Amino acid sequence: MTNRLAADQFEKIEFTGGTFLRANKKQFPSLRGLAVQQLKLKPGAVREPHSHPNAEQLDYCVTGHAQVGIVGPEGHKQLLDLHEGDISFVPRGYVHWTQNVGNAPLHFLVILSHELPETIELSETLAGVPDKTLSASLGVPEKLLEGLPKKTVTIGSGSNM
């Protein structure tokens, strides 16, 4: 068993709006009960709304200025303003997102309470539900739904890019 994971061994996913790095039990078998992620967002970029059905999440703002949104049961809604050194907590199963609202790059460290966290992306949910069902559920014309993404977004480029 090794107790070190080099930076280049993280799972790295590049997007127009930033970079997402993940380390879980698959990359780092020593991890038990947690996973670590790094999120690097360009100004205006957003980590799309998502939830973790099997994990809580602790965020640490390494550098930059972020807004973290959290939506939970019974009308729970929060918009948290985070700066360098601030932390936030997201309960298991709550929908949440992170947006870089500053003028400089944002670097976030994310710690999840499961070594193999599950993630449900909003874009995956919308792409998986038929437009007819979304139209009936939301009370909007199906034509309005044509512009929704049909694939996973993960990190959107935002309006400042």
Fold that domain 7-156 belongs to in CATH? Jelly Rolls (2.60.120)
Q: What is the pLDDT of residues 27-48, one digit of tens each?
A: 999 999 999 999 999 999 999 9
Residue 109: pLDDT above 50?
yes
Question: Where do the domains of the chain lie?
Answer: 7-156
Between CA 81 and CA 8 the distance in angstroms is 30
Of the chain, the percentage scoring pLDDT greater than 70 comes to 97
The whole-model pTM stands at 0.91
pLDDT band at 136; cut points 50, 70, 90? very high
User: Which residues partner with 15 through β-bridges?
Assistant: 18
* Four-residue CA torsion sign, 68, 154, 116, 54: positive
Between CA 142 and CA 5 the distance in angstroms is 47
Between CA 156 and CA 147 the distance in angstroms is 15
Contact 5, 27 (CB under 8 A): yes
